[in-house]
Chain A
């Protein structure tokens, strides 16, 4: 036993490990070169019969040789494990384009999505979202909003009444009665929006529906002016239609606002009538017990269907009201 011989054992083991084509061959080589009968194992066991001096010097050489063999074995094991894994992974390739999804994602109705969107926009500005009954008192829906008894909107052609007529209950024609409810029960400052379902006795066609949705806004505070209305609508229009949209106010008439205006947005190259607005008529504020010497207010109202149709290029209102899931699923949950 001499150092040269030991070096040869190491070299032989390394070559054998390197020659192994797979983990089984490597195992055989390992047994041959590190097993009980391998020269290095025999030499290691033979150390006991040597003198202390020889034991020290050969022991060191044999230890180093064993470490070198173990290191070579680890390297080759790693190499062959990678090769084996690669082979297995290759065999396990699937067609990942197979339809993985067994079910459709559902979706929120686009009216819900836009309602949530508008609510969040105004909540962030400190407006509460107020909701209320669809079957509503005539006094709240009309009289208190300064819509007189002989106004055309109050005839049977425009408003759904429930029996008996003496109960004075109508399917609300606007969400504005919530403005009255709020002013009757809360002290100003008032900052609210009221999105909700409204009713008019119109035949269903591509632009009209007997059942539709509105969002109303109301602010009553000290020093509120039409400039505040305009600022709010400008901001709202940009949120709905994009940062480049411009708005204009046109004089109009509503019994519950004075001055009154229509708000138009310039979208996709043309002016679109978006909604109505104005300064709350002092007569309305007085009926609600708001001190008009101290407070003033503005109000606005838009159709949600109309806003959706303009924003998403929907040309037929039937699609919004019919509940066809192919239509609704296009909108997901509005993300």
Chain B
């Protein structure tokens, strides 16, 4: 909202107060300053009013050029070159004379151009920094200025315009009246309410008025009928300039007046050509699929949810949003109906959103306009059209009744309790009075002003007091929690695992959880991982699905890094996945203001699908870069499995490893890790087709662990760590190639008995032939209470080998 200082000054005496002080005051009471525009600051005269005496058309140039003779009241003519064509002989224009400097540091001097001497320049609004209008030069209405008059003064150019941001609860501040009141309150100055003057106007209902009726969607409506309006009457400079300063275009007297009153008071108005209204106006919902052309010449198809203003025959306006082309004021309109309505804010918000039309009117009406203004603003507009346009008053039609905010009972102690302040009751009452409340300091009944429909509960009044007193008056005190808080075990585990992986050389990424359908197909997801959620309004039509697995995002992140030149790396992500595997129910919306019952709360929680936290990682390229110490080797399936096992080890979990055929891994190189017999992780080499499809180096590897499926770590029962000597025995066994290392190891462990402390596979040899392989293990034996004898050690080793022989036909390699 653009707020010209000069306009505010009509209602608050700002003399002696700097622009900076005013800007700070706006911020302090809750209006962010987007920009402070110092209009005229980069403009110096002479800038004068001139009359066009003659025009010579110079046709020999690329574009038509005029050589214009001006009377600047200097006793002799002045000649200037001009490219604009929107003026005629006898028009009053604005001339910048040599010595003037226009915005953009554009110095005016006499110069030779187009073969003529140009002794100044006639100016457009844009050239003077007054607006964006560059369609032609400024042409003043006859009688509005005197030849040779200083135009800087005439056009009221020197002004400061504050562009303030207005929060949705403060619709009243989308007006000079509202903003001026805020400034007065913030700076403790007197405020003269513009409606004091309007209340003194007298417009009796009269009999000749066009009627208005509310069938739906409005609280109160006024329609004031005027006759004998002079369509040739133009806006006086003070009017058109104020309209321009708030960023609107000056169009015609009737339109300028409605805009002027809207900006001054905050009540949108619409002026109809009364001759076009058949019988009277009705505020109602549209017929479905009715067609209607708005002022912007757009044909719109209406729906039964659109609130409209219509007459007996057709729709004339999209209520509170935009008028219709058919009933707009034209340059021959002489009879006018000024409409001012307090529409239902939600109806206007819907109109505006459905038609993607955010207008000055809709922005105000959807925030709720002061209900008293329908009467007052329409009266103010009628007054201006009568005094400036020669109109005569016919009468007023009214529908509905204004309803005002309810009285609020406030305990001043409540204000201090909520703010942590020690304000006196007087100070609280004064602050509330400043914002327009009536305060009965005996009963502490607070009557909010008509424009503050947002003030409903005591907490709303607390904010008003804090705003006016200043948020900086609130002390700074730390509260004391009665709790000793820690991370939950799951949070601590996630954090520790992430740090461990980072220390092991993996880099964390956080990917958007959106996936393309083609990716889901290419990764060959089935079952739970094919059951996803579709976003109704996705960011990109390419990725409308929620991820069911972390691999797609990791592949995309790997691709991005590869494309930027990275070659050898490992990435990991910890995040939620989304599987549509529970029954979807309709959303629950219990009433507000009281706690829903336990069953409803549970039903709401249950309506939200579980979203477990997974850990995923991808391994690309070599385990090290090329280096001088070792020969770099590529990541292989075992690296991914090792990383997954490390995570489970760190969590203190026992697990088993089984081969698994699980997309998107290589069907022969994927391990499934099970805890308590339940699959919690998959790791290994990615499917070769996946690598080629997504441009990853061959044999890239990956792992995924469902962190939420991991059981909590039990408190460790520490085993006795013996200090007796260790006895180490190596055995090399020959078995069939399809015997897994894990199975053979398990057989040895079971056979060796309690003396076995640890077992490590240290060699695998597959060149024996005959479908056999050799697996060699180091077995370490120890007793906690004695040194083992040679016989004991041999017996234990032989028992281990015997069990391997029994279960898998293992023979000792000779």
> Is B truly associated with A?
yes
Residues of A at the B interface (CB closer than 8 Å) are 98-99, 102-109, 111-112, 116, 119, 122-123, 125-129, 131, 133-140, 143-144, 146, 150, 152, 155-156, 160-169, 171, 181, 184-185, 189, 191, 197, 201, 203-204, 210-211, 219, 221, 223-228, 230-232, 234-235, 248-253, 258-262, 279, 281-283, 286-289, 296, 321-326, 328-329, 332-333
A161-B536, A228-B420 in contact; A143/B592 too (CB < 8 A)?
yes
Check B629 against A249 for contact (C-beta < 8 Å).
Answer: no
Check B475 against A227 for contact (C-beta < 8 Å).
Answer: yes
Check A106 against B29 for contact (C-beta < 8 Å).
Answer: no
Q: Which of B419, B546, B589 contacts A168 (CB 8 A)?
A: B589
Check B457 against A106 for contact (C-beta < 8 Å).
Answer: no
Q: Nearest chain-A residue to B169 (Cβ)?
A: A253
Q: Which residues of A contact B593 (CB under 8 A)?
A: 283, 286-287
Check A296 against B418 for contact (C-beta < 8 Å).
Answer: yes
Q: Is B486 an interface residue (CB 8 A)?
A: yes
Check A323 against B560 for contact (C-beta < 8 Å).
Answer: yes
Q: Is B70 an interface residue (CB 8 A)?
A: no
Q: Which of B27, B474, B509 contacts A328 (CB 8 A)?
A: B509
Check B30 against A250 for contact (C-beta < 8 Å).
Answer: yes
Check B624 against A103 for contact (C-beta < 8 Å).
Answer: yes
Name which of B420, B485, B505 has the most chain A CB atoms within 10 A of its CB. Answer: B485
CB distance from A263 to the nearest CB of B (A): 10
Question: CA separation between A119 and B495, bound complex, in Å?
Answer: 11
Check B535 against A161 for contact (C-beta < 8 Å).
Answer: yes
Name which of A107, A125, A197, A225 has the most chain B CB atoms within 10 A of its CB. Answer: A225
Q: Nearest chain-B residue to A322 (Cβ)?
A: B560
Q: Nearest chain-B residue to A155 (Cβ)?
A: B353
Q: Is the interface of A mostly helix, strand, loop or mixed?
A: mixed
Q: Is B576 an interface residue (CB 8 A)?
A: yes
Q: Which residues of A contact B585 (CB under 8 A)?
A: 167
Question: CA separation between A324 and B565, bound complex, in Å?
Answer: 11
Question: CA separation between A279 and B466, bound complex, in Å?
Answer: 12
Check A108 against B167 for contact (C-beta < 8 Å).
Answer: no
**Can you spell out 30 A-B residue pairs with CB atoms less than 8 angstroms apart?**
A102-B625, A102-B630, A108-B508, A119-B491, A123-B485, A125-B481, A137-B604, A150-B349, A150-B350, A160-B537, A160-B538, A163-B534, A167-B584, A167-B585, A189-B483, A204-B539, A219-B479, A228-B479, A231-B478, A251-B30, A252-B30, A253-B170, A259-B418, A259-B466, A286-B594, A286-B595, A289-B595, A325-B509, A325-B569, A326-B564
Check B418 against A329 for contact (C-beta < 8 Å).
Answer: no
Q: Is B459 an interface residue (CB 8 A)?
A: yes
Check A128 against B513 for contact (C-beta < 8 Å).
Answer: no
A135-B578, A283-B457 in contact; A227/B504 too (CB < 8 A)?
no
Q: Is the interface of B mostly helix, strand, loop or mixed?
A: loop
* A-B pair number, CB within 8 angstroms: 304
Check B30 against A126 for contact (C-beta < 8 Å).
Answer: no
Check B561 against A139 for contact (C-beta < 8 Å).
Answer: no
Q: Which residues of A contact B505 (CB under 8 A)?
A: 103-106
CB distance from A296 to the nearest CB of B (A): 6
List 11 additional A-B contacts (Cβ < 8 Å) besides A143-B592, A323-B561. Answer: A105-B505, A109-B510, A134-B611, A162-B534, A167-B587, A210-B512, A228-B478, A259-B419, A262-B32, A283-B457, A325-B561
Question: CA separation between A322 and B538, bound complex, in Å?
Answer: 19
Check A171 against B420 for contact (C-beta < 8 Å).
Answer: no
A225-B419, A329-B507 in contact; A230/B475 too (CB < 8 A)?
yes
Q: Which residues of A contact B329 (CB under 8 A)?
A: none
Check B417 against A296 for contact (C-beta < 8 Å).
Answer: yes
CB distance from B544 to the nearest CB of A (A): 9
Check B418 against A279 for contact (C-beta < 8 Å).
Answer: yes
Q: Which of A111, A221, A235 contacts B478 (CB 8 A)?
A: A235
Question: CA separation between A143 and B586, bound complex, in Å?
Answer: 16
A98-B628, A150-B346 in contact; A144/B557 too (CB < 8 A)?
no
Q: Is B484 an interface residue (CB 8 A)?
A: yes
Check A189 against B482 for contact (C-beta < 8 Å).
Answer: yes
A228-B420, A259-B459 in contact; A185/B539 too (CB < 8 A)?
no
CB distance from B346 to the nearest CB of A (A): 5
Check B627 against A323 for contact (C-beta < 8 Å).
Answer: no
Question: CA separation between A324 and B561, bound complex, in Å?
Answer: 6
CB distance from B564 to the nearest CB of A (A): 6
Check B592 against A189 for contact (C-beta < 8 Å).
Answer: no
A139-B588, A150-B346 in contact; A230/B476 too (CB < 8 A)?
yes
Q: Which residues of A contact B508 (CB under 8 A)?
A: 106-109, 112, 328
Check A136 against B485 for contact (C-beta < 8 Å).
Answer: no
Check A139 against B589 for contact (C-beta < 8 Å).
Answer: yes
Q: Nearest chain-B residue to A171 (Cβ)?
A: B535
Q: Which of B459, B484, B511, B512 contacts A282 (CB 8 A)?
A: B459
Check B594 against A287 for contact (C-beta < 8 Å).
Answer: yes
Check A225 against B510 for contact (C-beta < 8 Å).
Answer: no
Question: CA separation between A253 and B207, bound complex, in Å?
Answer: 46
Check A133 against B608 for contact (C-beta < 8 Å).
Answer: yes
Question: CA separation between A323 and B587, bound complex, in Å?
Answer: 35
A-B CB proximity, top 7 nearest: A168-B587, A227-B420, A126-B481, A289-B595, A251-B30, A225-B420, A259-B463
CB distance from B26 to the nearest CB of A (A): 10
Q: Is B755 an interface residue (CB 8 A)?
A: no
Q: Which of B491, B512, B627 contacts A99 (CB 8 A)?
A: B627
Check A282 against B417 for contact (C-beta < 8 Å).
Answer: no
Q: Which residues of A contact B572 (CB under 8 A)?
A: 106
Q: Which of A131, A201, A204, A259 contacts B491 (CB 8 A)?
A: A131
Name which of B459, B483, B611 has the most chain A CB atoms within 10 A of its CB. Answer: B459
Q: Which of A227, A228, A234 contacts B421 (CB 8 A)?
A: A227
Q: Which residues of A contact B458 (CB under 8 A)?
A: 282
Give 1 or 0 for each of B519-538: 1 = CB within 8 Å of chain A CB: 00000000000000111111
